[in-house]
Amino acid sequence: MRKKLYCFMLITLLVTPLISITVTSQKISSKSDLNSIFFNNSPPYPPNITVPDKIITGKWFKIKVSITDPDSDNVYIRFNASILPDLPEYWFGPIPSGTIFSSWVKYKGPTGSFTIGVQAKDTYDAESEWTYVKINIYKNKAINTQFLNFYNRIISNFLF
């Protein structure tokens, strides 16, 4: 029993100097700050948003968001796009880092230029910067029915 106790004490004395604690005097204002101090956690990179160049009101279009976390933590995303109610403004996830999130959206509002924002955070609540993209929404051009009727009458007169 004494040999085991001496052996334990010797191992404890040899290992103890290898442990170091660093004390920082930094104001902690959020859970994210606390995680970055104790876990050395980095926030996700700002997301990359891909949207079509031309969006037609009343038609479906696809939004793609590429999300990467430097620590390979799972991530959550949220959108700042009040014009697109189909996109989540709350934290949505978890999504594996390196994933391309895509969503089909149908816009039914007025035409014009609008801005969509997206932000990511990891499982330790470290948040990325917001990324914004400008989208241009155009009116769905109706077919001129008078012209089509005239064209059909001309064609039918020549064929019969």
Confirm if 99 and 115 have CB atoms less than 8 A apart: no
Domains by residue range for the chain, with CATH: 46-138 (2.60.40.730)
Q: What is the pLDDT of residue 65?
A: 94
DSSP helix/strand/coil, 65: strand
Q: What is the pLDDT of residue 68?
A: 95
Q: What is the pLDDT of residue 48?
A: 95
> What does pLDDT average to in each consecutive run of 10 residues of the chain (160 residues)?
49 46 53 58 94 89 94 92 72 92 86 90 95 90 66 68
